[in-house]
Amino acid sequence: MTHVSRRVFLAGAAAVVSAASPRAADPGDRIRKLVMLSAPQSNDPQEFQAAQLLAQAWRQLGLEIEVRPLPRPQLADIVWNQRDKWDMSMWRMVGRPERSDPDELVYSLFHSSTANGGYDFVTYINKDYDRAAESERQEIDPRKRQVFMYQAQDIIDRDQPYIFLVFPKNTFAYSSKVWKPESMVEQSGIGIRCFWTFVRAEPASAQKDMIVNAAEPLVALNPLYIGGAVDSWMTELVWDRLMRVGPDGLPVPWSASRAEWTDATTLDLALRPGQTWHDGEKVTIDDVLFSLQAPANGNFSPMYKPFVANIAEVTATGEDTVRIKLKTPNAGFLTASLAKLNLVPKHIWGPLMDSQMAKGQSAEQYQEPKPIGSGPFRMVSFNLQDQVVLEANEKHWAAPKMARWILRVVTNNDAALGMLQRGEINFLTDYRGDPKVLVDMAKQDAAIQVVSTTDMGFRFLAPNGRRPPFNDPTFRRALSSATNRQMLAAAAWNGFAIPANSMVAPSLTFWAKPGINDLKVDMGEAKKLLTDAGYTVVDGHLHYPPGVKETLTGS
Amino acid sequence: MTHVLRRLVLMLLVLWAIASILFLMFRLMPGDPTTAYIDPTFTAEQRQVVLHQFGLDLPLWRQYAIYIGNLLHGELGLSFRYRAPVAGLILNVLPNTLLLTLTALVIAYIFGALGGALLAMKRGTWVEAVTIPLVLATRAAPEFWLGMLLLAVFAFAFGWFPSGGAVTAGAAFPSALARVTSADFAHHLVLPAATLAIYLQGLPLLLMRANMLEVMQEEFITMARMKGFGEWSIMLRHAARNALLPLVTAFALGFGASVGGNVVVETVFSWPGIGRMLVDAVASSDYPLAQGAFLLIAAVLVVMNAVADMLYGVLDPRVAHAAG
């Protein structure tokens, strides 16, 4: 196997520069066989099929492409830890309520500061982009910030550091015999499996327990550690947060009754009065201070530390008011930090923090036998491999209408469908099979309601900017033009996806640049882009522009 | 006595070898437990912190020394993913797996022993012609297919049994013991145990039949016939008792093997068992948990092997004699 060192990457970049003034000479080197990493079919059929379709299309440009399926942990290990040893890889970004402010993605995915060991694993480096991302992060005025967001999206559209593919749809189903359809809330970019449905769903019959499913076991029930996807559904019900991301994607005060910026780095918050922890203790301003300060303490909470890293100081300004000073302006702070950090009781976690730190351990190594939060649901019992039972916290100011919320771990997709039909579950919250099967099932059973929502997360192909030919934006643009996203959405995702060309999902209506995702597939344009840049096809194989040598060395 | 002692030392050696192979195997496997943390906010520094927490920044020989040292103290370490002691995680699901496995094995072996004896008696008849292919077919049928079939018929169509899990949603029990001895648990156990039993019954049945046929050629059977005993008495009291011996070994080994081998049944029936946990642990590069679970399975297998050996000696004095 051949590898490209960083030095060769620079040489490649230089070669691209020289290609701007093509000499009427022999074509450059033939582009080597390119390897496209993907999840195996058994693990992610949609992704695998999309990879096959992409390879098929791009071969028409004269490229030789091998799709190489790898189990997810191995694939991630190569892409993340061996940054100059792969050509391109399928990848995904999942949607989460806190990503309703696009800052986390706009900044971390492409800002050059994250190229070395951070999320910019495609090694996209562009000063103009860095400036746009820094500006959107610091601008508090939404109107002005929108301009920078649009700018960032335009630059990404031009340079195509990712070949975006689709925004998939999240499909969930519930029984309308058990839950009133008008009380189910579809959160923008997330779907009906969301906090708002869980607190607002109204029983339509005597069955007042909401029984939901998860396709994998839980890892932990901890306000300071999320070990797997399912953990986060529970934590946001048991532990409250100062802010919540509303159904429309905008932050709304929750445990705080108000949140006001007094200047670009000063935020004043008031705590909603009358809140109590599940053990009966009062939620105090000390708890709020503790919740914002504890994650910053050494390695006590490695997972939440980045979300408080920008806090310079938190001070109580009254019995129920608090002031947060930030180190630098951060427009996404309300959503990305305050709607993410859990409020934790100081009387429980304070002593725990001391004892854990003394043992050289973090909050992550401690599982409360009975977790205590201040959220709308109380913990009744849990067995991580089997089921979790929560009950409505009737003392909560936004008390749920249901009696209990029960999560069952159902590892068999088809059995989960059967359970929904039989009422063993009444809300299918985790379905990893073909959504069409679900839709067809609902046609047979009038009580089953299926709701599909376009995710704010997306699927993409990551071309490795450290390796030629992917270090050439024109080459990437050509690949993008040769990509039929409509067809991918229809064929690989069975119609449950829409074309993507931006890291800002269309569900984030205020931030997504209108029309940015309307890329047309144009094989002629793709070929023209390559020809104009000096690439030539010789005997059916694509060659670099004249004078460009593909010098790959072992590293 | 020295025989037992030698056996014990040998068992420990085998377990040490297995533990060492497991240790190396997981560390040589591609993949890295920190990939589970990849997130837009995850940085190279954070990765180092995680590696340090897991002790993966130490040289391999030191990791090995710590691992073996812990094992000698009966410590299986902390799971990377669950951040909890491996022993506790395994103990939490072990009863589920043991109950599933034992129920299925007992049913399979009782059915197999009786069925095998009967088939030996019916040698050459139409009963044999129909039954043998049927047994072979169920033995060869993939477990997930069998499981899905039982689910489709007895859960989805007739609604006699639940579609998965170990207890009804929201069921509460005063203790773990009360949970596994409840009628609810038993109700949930039926389909997975039946699937596993159907899958397992082929071996004891065919083994029993072959042994019976062999024993029936022995002189003492002829002798019994000459004495004028009834056919049923000869079969059950003389032939079957002798033919049962190899089944004891098979049962013990089968038990050892199926403690960890129920991944498919556990997944199809959403049964919270050790097989499922093991697969998850391997997939997420959770070395301590995977090592612990594999080691437990190996230990059960090694112990059951020894038990089978000793039982054999007790049941058949000729063997004990030879071993001594």
Q: Do A114 and B43 touch (CB under 8 A)?
A: yes
- C-alpha angle A42/A43/A46, rounded to 5°? 85
Q: How many helices and strands (H and E) does chain A possess?
A: 17, 20
The answer to whether residues A247 and A185 touch, using CB atoms and an 8 Å cutoff, is yes
Q: Do B84 and A117 touch (CB under 8 A)?
A: no
Identity at A453, one-letter amino acid code: T
pLDDT at A25: 66
Nearest to A418 among B32, B38, B163 (CB): B163
The span from the CA of B218 to the CA of B224, in Å, is 10
Who's near B23: CB < 8 A, 6+ residues apart?
A: B63, B64, B67, B291
The span from the CA of B214 to the CA of B152, in Å, is 41
The answer to whether residues B205 and B119 touch, using CB atoms and an 8 Å cutoff, is yes
DSSP 3-state assignment of A243? strand
Tell me: ipTM over 0.95: no
Tokens for B281?
């642990």
Nearest to A77 among B35, B41, B172 (CB): B35
Cα radius of gyration (chain A)? 25
> Quick one: closest CA in B to A379, which residue?
B170
* pLDDT tens sequence across B72-129: 888 888 898 898 899 999 998 999 999 999 999 999 999 998 998 888 888 888 888 8
pLDDT greater than 60 at residue A40: yes
Q: Do A383 and B162 touch (CB under 8 A)?
A: no
pLDDT greater than 90 at residue A12: no
pLDDT greater than 80 at residue A100: yes
What is the number of other CB atoms lying within 10 angstroms of the CB of residue B118?
17
From the list A347, A351, A379, A352, the residue with the least C-alpha distance to A364 is: A352
pLDDT at A458: 96
The answer to whether residues A115 and A133 touch, using CB atoms and an 8 Å cutoff, is no
Q: Which of A24-33, A266-275, A276-285, A443-452 has the lowest mean pLDDT?
A: A24-33
Identify each DSSP E strand in A447-492 by its residue range: 448-454, 458-463
A421 touches chain B (CB under 8 A): yes
A423 touches chain B (CB under 8 A): no
Tokens for A28?
């450059």
* Residue A19 banded pLDDT, cuts 50, 70, 90: very low
pTM: 0.88
Q: Do B163 and A119 touch (CB under 8 A)?
A: no
The answer to whether residues A256 and A240 touch, using CB atoms and an 8 Å cutoff, is no
pLDDT greater than 80 at residue B321: no
pLDDT at B313: 74
Residues of B in contact with A368 (CB under 8 A): none
- Residue B128 distance to chain A (closest CA, Å): 36
The predicted model gives A131-147 an average pLDDT of 93
* Residue B324 banded pLDDT, cuts 50, 70, 90: very low
Who's near B202: CB < 8 A, 6+ residues apart?
A: B112, B135, B136, B138, B139
A299 touches chain B (CB under 8 A): yes
From the list A210, A62, A115, A186, the residue with the least C-alpha distance to A464 is: A115
User: Which CA distances in Å does B39 have to A120, A287, A342?
Assistant: 11, 28, 19
pLDDT greater than 80 at residue B316: no
Q: Which residue has the tokens 């379709």?
A: A53
The span from the CA of A189 to the CA of A178, in Å, is 25
Nearest to A389 among B93, B151, B170 (CB): B170
pLDDT at A21: 47
- Among A residues 74-113, those touching chain B with beta carbons less than 8 Å apart: 74, 76-78, 80-81, 93, 104-105, 108-109
pLDDT at A432: 87
Task: Compute the CA torsion angle A200, A204, A206, A212 (nearest 10 deg).
Answer: -60
Residues of B in contact with A382 (CB under 8 A): none
From the list A14, A161, A160, A4, the residue with the least C-alpha distance to A82 is: A4
Q: Which residue has the higher pLDDT, B268 or B315?
A: B268
Q: Do A73 and B31 touch (CB under 8 A)?
A: yes
- Under DSSP, the state recorded for B151 is I
Q: Which residue has the tokens 């890892």?
A: A219
pLDDT greater than 80 at residue B30: no
What is the number of other CB atoms lying within 10 angstroms of the CB of residue A389?
22
The secondary structure element, H or E, covering residue A536 is strand A536-538
The answer to whether residues A338 and A371 touch, using CB atoms and an 8 Å cutoff, is no
From the list A93, A79, A96, A91, the residue with the least C-alpha distance to A47 is: A91
Tokens for A555?
């590293």
- C-alpha angle A287/A293/A294, rounded to 5°? 85
From the list A488, A481, A555, the residue with the least C-alpha distance to A521 is: A481
pLDDT at A22: 46
* pLDDT tens sequence across A326-376: 999 998 999 999 999 999 999 999 999 999 999 888 899 899 999 999 999
The predicted model gives A279-291 an average pLDDT of 96
- Under DSSP, the state recorded for A359 is T
Alpha helix (H) residue ranges in chain B: 2-28, 44-54, 60-72, 86-121, 126-140, 143-150, 176-180, 183-200, 202-215, 219-227, 231-233, 241-243, 245-260, 263-268, 274-283, 287-315, 317-323
pLDDT greater than 80 at residue B311: no
From the list A373, A385, A407, the residue with the least C-alpha distance to A209 is: A407
Nearest to A385 among B83, B92, B163 (CB): B92
* pLDDT tens sequence across B188-202: 999 999 999 999 999
The span from the CA of B166 to the CA of B187, in Å, is 9
The span from the CA of A432 to the CA of A429, in Å, is 10
What is the number of other CB atoms lying within 10 angstroms of the CB of residue A58?
23
Q: Which of A233-247, A306-320, B22-36 has the lowest mean pLDDT?
A: B22-36
DSSP 3-state assignment of A325? strand
Who's near B300: CB < 8 A, 6+ residues apart?
A: B255, B256, B259, B260
Burial of A401 (0-12, 13-18, 19+ CB in 10 A): middle
The answer to whether residues A338 and A243 touch, using CB atoms and an 8 Å cutoff, is yes
Who's near A6: CB < 8 A, 6+ residues apart?
A: A84, A466
The span from the CA of B216 to the CA of B239, in Å, is 6
Q: Do B43 and A80 touch (CB under 8 A)?
A: no
Cα radius of gyration (chain B)? 24
**End-to-end alpha carbon distance in chain B:** 10
The answer to whether residues A333 and A189 touch, using CB atoms and an 8 Å cutoff, is no
Q: Do B30 and A418 touch (CB under 8 A)?
A: no
What residues does A50 pair with on adjacent strands? Answer: none
The rounded mean pLDDT for chain A is: 91
From the list B161, B175, B115, B177, the residue with the least C-alpha distance to B271 is: B161
